[in-house]
Each structure stands twice: as structure tokens, then as C-alpha cells.
């Protein structure tokens, strides 16, 4: 939050515990259906600026803005004069004179989003940077709350690369009491040490538990949810030509349910059947992946409403 006039969402670390909980609960309220929607953003103009491909996040924020009554302007990667040398700060200052909200995906340095947020008129939302995918985590927690009726005390097993979705999940789940977040990441592809350190600090304060290992020798025991992401994170490449060999043991298969028969399956999508997850899991009875995808829109509605509340 930069000042008294606008609210930005650049990182979940910028949110208080109360703000994070309120966003998740509001997302669940929108998902539940009884909340009136249609005029929360009436009279406002939202910009959608994506430098990288997106199906769910771009569509969810576009649909959310329209459902809440905003008008919408979309920008592609070649549309702004930043391509010809204009600074991010100058671009943001100009856009802030015309837009009320701006949702940005760079998949790059979060400092770029901070530059957009230095002006004091337009709220800026991080739709994914290299280090964190904050609105994905809000959608994930919305899904957990909608399904289980709570987040406290849940056991979530995350399997796969310690990417920006995993980082956001660790930074948020670790703030809820008695949560156990178990991360199974391939050797050399774990969470950023600073993110893991922050998650441990959060957990000490909340009473949660966060553990990371680099082995798939045993199935998780009594997990409530098993979560994975695709092996190739948007906007990144892996320098190791043999990375698929390292990732192969971390494929999510039905065998992971041996000791957690009631666990649900989560995936931030897109999924690559036969790589990060088998078709039997993604399309099977445990899967909430497509509900989770829909919840991205409800989480986006909560975020946009929150950012615009001071208008």
C-alpha cells in the first residue's frame, strides 16, 4: 500500500494477516454466489497489461473487472512505448492519469512492478513476476476455504519446482495456524532460500509448519491436498539439458494417494498430462483443478474490489 489514496498488490508480503484473510474470504464469498456484483467498480477503468502468455490470469482479471462494472482496456507486449525507450515510471505516470487500476504480468523482475506502483493515482496488481504469483495463491486459498470450510489445520503437499506459484503458496499458507505445508521439490529446483526463510518466520508466528525435501521416496501421509504445477514455468528456461530426468520422479500419479486417500488435487494450470501429472489424476475424482481455475476469477474480483475500495 503506497499511500492513503490507492492500494497496490505487488507481493503477498505487503499484506497484513488480516488483509490476506479478508481477500481469501471475499473470494470464497464471490465463489459461493450470494454476493451482489455489478457495481463495485462502476465508473472505473481497468487496464490489463500482459507481456507474457496467459489464459487463466488474464481472462480472470478481465472477466472480474467487467463483472464488477468496470470498463476495460487491454495492452499487449508490443503496445506501449516502453518498447521504444520510455521509462516505466513515465509510462506509469501517464497511465495513472487515465486508468484507475492496472493489472500487469511481466514474469520478470518485481522491481518493474514497483516502478509502476510509484505513482499515487492508479492501483497496480501483480499478475505474476519471476519471484511470486500472489493472486494465484489467493485463488488457491479461496479453493481450499471453499472446499474445506477452513484453512487452519490443513496439510498441503506441494510437488514440483519451487517456482513463483510455490513461493506464493508458501508465503501465504505459512500465515495460517496449524497448517502443514510439505514441499517436495527436485534437487536444484527448490524454493528460493529467502522465500523459505520468510515462510519459516511466518510459521513461527502463526503456529504453522513448513518443510521442504527433495525426495519422492514415500507418499505424503494424511494430506488434505496434493498440489503441483507444470514443469516449465511461464517465461523461464532451464539451463540444464537433462532437467527432465531430475523432474521425472516428481510426477504426480495416483500412487501419491496411497496414504492420503481423501486428498484433493490442485494444479494452477496449464497442465501437461504425462509430465507433471497423469491424466488419471487431473481428470479423476480427486481433482479440483478446474474449480481452482474458476476461482481465479473470484479471487481477482476480491483483489480488484480491495484495490479500488478507497476510490
Can you give the CATH number for the domain in which 35 is found? 3.40.50.1370
Sign of the alpha-carbon dihedral angle for 206, 212, 218, 219? positive
pLDDT tens digits for 137-146?
999 999 999 9
Evaluate if residue 93 carries a pLDDT over 50. yes
Q: 229 and 90 share a domain?
A: no
Number of domains in the chain: 2
Q: 162 and 280 share a domain?
A: yes
Distances (CA, A) of 306 to 124, 194, 200, 230, 236: 12, 28, 27, 30, 30
Q: 88 and 157 share a domain?
A: no
Task: Supply the pTM of this predicted model.
Answer: 0.94
Does the residue 59 lie in any domain?
A: yes
pLDDT tens digits for 41-81?
999 999 999 998 899 999 999 999 999 999 999 998 889 99
Evaluate if residue 268 carries a pLDDT over 90. yes
What does pLDDT average to over the chain? 94
Q: 67 and 45 share a domain?
A: yes
Q: 97 and 126 share a domain?
A: yes
Return d(Cα 24, Cα 21) in angstroms, integer.
5
Q: 249 and 156 share a domain?
A: yes
Does the residue 166 lie in any domain?
A: yes
Q: 288 and 141 share a domain?
A: yes
Q: 174 and 90 share a domain?
A: no
Question: What is the span of the domain harbouring residue 179?
Answer: 134-293
Strand partners, 162: none
Report residue 2's pLDDT band, with 50, 70 and 90 as the boundaries: very low
Closest CA to 311 of 115, 31, 40: 40
Report residue 277's pLDDT band, with 50, 70 and 90 as the boundaries: very high
Evaluate if residue 235 carries a pLDDT over 70. no
Q: 102 and 41 share a domain?
A: yes
Amino acid at each position: 500500500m503506497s499511500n492513503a489514496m490507492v492500494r497496490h498488490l505487488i507481493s503477498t508480503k505487503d499484506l497484513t494477516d488480516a488483509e490476506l484473510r479478508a481477500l481469501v474470504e471475499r473470494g470464497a464469498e464471490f465463489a459461493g454466489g450470494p454476493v451482489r456484483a455489478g457495481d463495485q467498480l462502476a465508473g472505473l477503468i481497468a487496464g490489463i497489461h500482459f507481456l507474457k502468455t496467459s489464459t487463466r490470469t488474464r481472462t480472470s482479471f478481465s472477466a472480474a473487472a467487467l463483472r464488477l462494472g468496470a470498463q476495460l482496456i487491454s495492452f499487449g507486449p508490443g503496445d506501449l512505448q516502453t518498447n521504444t525507450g520510455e521509462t516505466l515510471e513515465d509510462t506509469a505516470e501517464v497511465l495513472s492519469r487515465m486508468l484507475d487500476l492496472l493489472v500487469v504480468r511481466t514474469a520478470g523482475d518485481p522491481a518493474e512492478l514497483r516502478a509502476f506502483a510509484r505513482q499515487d493515482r492508479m492501483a497496480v496488481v501483480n499478475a505474476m513476476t519471476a519471484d511470486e504469483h500472489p493472486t494465484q495463491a489467493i485463488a488457491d486459498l479461496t479453493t481450499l476455504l471453499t472446499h474445506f470450510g477452513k484453512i487452519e489445520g490443513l496439510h498441503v503437499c506441494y510437488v514440483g519446482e519451487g517456482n513463483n506459484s510455490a513461493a506464493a503458496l508458501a508465503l501465504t499458507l505459512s500465515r495460517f495456524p496449524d497448517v502443514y505445508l510439505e514441499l517436495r521439490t527436485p534437487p536444484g529446483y527448490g524454493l528460493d532460500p529467502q522465500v523459505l526463510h520468510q515462510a519459516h518466520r511466518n510459521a513461527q508466528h502463526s503456529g504453522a509448519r513448513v518443510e521442504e525435501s527433495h525426495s519422492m521416496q514415500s507418499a505424503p501421509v494424511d494430506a488434505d491436498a496434493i498440489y503441483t504445477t507444470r514443469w516449465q514455468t511461464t517465461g523461464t528456461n532451464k539451463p540444464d539439458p537433462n532437467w527432465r530426468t531430475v523432474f521425472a520422479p516428481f510426477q504426480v500419479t495416483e500412487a501419491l494417494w496411497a496414504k492420503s486417500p481423501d486428498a484433493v488435487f490442485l494444479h494452477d494450470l496449464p497442465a501437461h498430462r504425462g509430465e507433471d501429472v497423469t491424466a488419471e489424476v487431473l481428470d479423476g475424482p480427486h481433482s479440483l483443478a478446474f474449480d481452482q481455475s474458476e476461482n481465479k476469477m473470484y479471487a481477482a474480483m476480491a483483489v480488484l474490489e480491495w484495490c479500488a475500495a478507497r476510490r
